Structure 1
Amino acid sequence: MEKNHTITLRLSHSQFAWLGALCRRSKQTQSAVIRSLIENGTVCERITQEHIHIIRQLIGESTNLNQLAKQANTYGFFAVAKRCEDIAQRISQLIKQLKDDR
């Protein structure tokens, strides 16, 4: 899309600081952040290395849960019930951590 219109925008110190914070968190230019706010009403953050680490942990816990489901089908649910509860709790913690960070 061709961008051929320019605007001048005056901001207070706190508004300018807020714009700078949005730019740093999203790793976008000021123009891109303002365009995103105009088009979507929000600016999306980039996924951090910490979030990637949590997502990988979730994948690992999901794999463990699948293995426990297989064992439950073979040996019965009561043989793996405690481990299932522990893994479900760990998955809930990881999801909560992701939500709190976002």
Structure 2
Amino acid sequence: MEHKECKKHNKGGRPKKGATEKLSYRIGVKMAATDYFCLLTQAHDAGTSPSEFMRECFRNGHVRERLSEEHVGYIRQLCGMANNLNQLARKANTGGFHDEQRNCKVAVARIHELLTKIGI
């Protein structure tokens, strides 16, 4: 009778995984050499395997959409305005701010308008 009771106890070993925990799907991904070595480096730095690193990226990461042509144009305009604002600041430092005050206010207003169009 004692022998039968021993068989009911835990036999040892790892418990079975549930259906949601099993890794049953495989996806092949082609990478350039630089991307592959970048993945290996990041996985090594994180202390995980490349597969586990990619799974964590899928779970917790997000992919941003590429910039539209409209947004690229806005960014170009912002770069130009930043250049103009730097030039105005240089003039203000050399010749006094009172002469360039209006130009600075106009530049700041245009920059604010573009930032609201972009959504920042």
Q: Give the structure, 1 or 2, with the largest relative contact order (CA under 8 Å, sep 6 or more).
A: 1
Q: Secondary structure at the match of 1:80?
A: helix
1:58 matched to 2:71? The reply is no
The separation in 2 between residues aligned to 1:95 and 1:74, in whole angstroms, is 29
Question: Superposed, which structure 2 residues align to 1:55-94 within 5 Å?
Answer: 55-94=75-114
| Alpha-carbon displacement from aligned partner over 1:43-91 (angstroms, at most 9, x marks no partner) | 4211111111000000000000011011101110000000000000111
Runs of 4+ in 1 over 6 A off after TM superposition: none
Q: Secondary structure at the match of 1:64?
A: helix
Gaps of 5+ in 2: 1-22, 27-55
The separation in 2 between residues aligned to 1:37 and 1:97, in whole angstroms, is 30
Going by fraction, where is helix more abundant, 1 or 2? 1
What amino acid sits opposite 1:46 in the alignment? R
Q: Normalising to structure 1: TM-score of the pair?
A: 0.58
The separation in 2 between residues aligned to 1:86 and 1:37, in whole angstroms, is 44
1:38 matched to 2:73? The reply is no
| Alpha-carbon displacement from aligned partner over 1:12-51 (angstroms, at most 9, x marks no partner) | xxxxxxxxxxxxxxxxxxxxxxx977333x4421111111
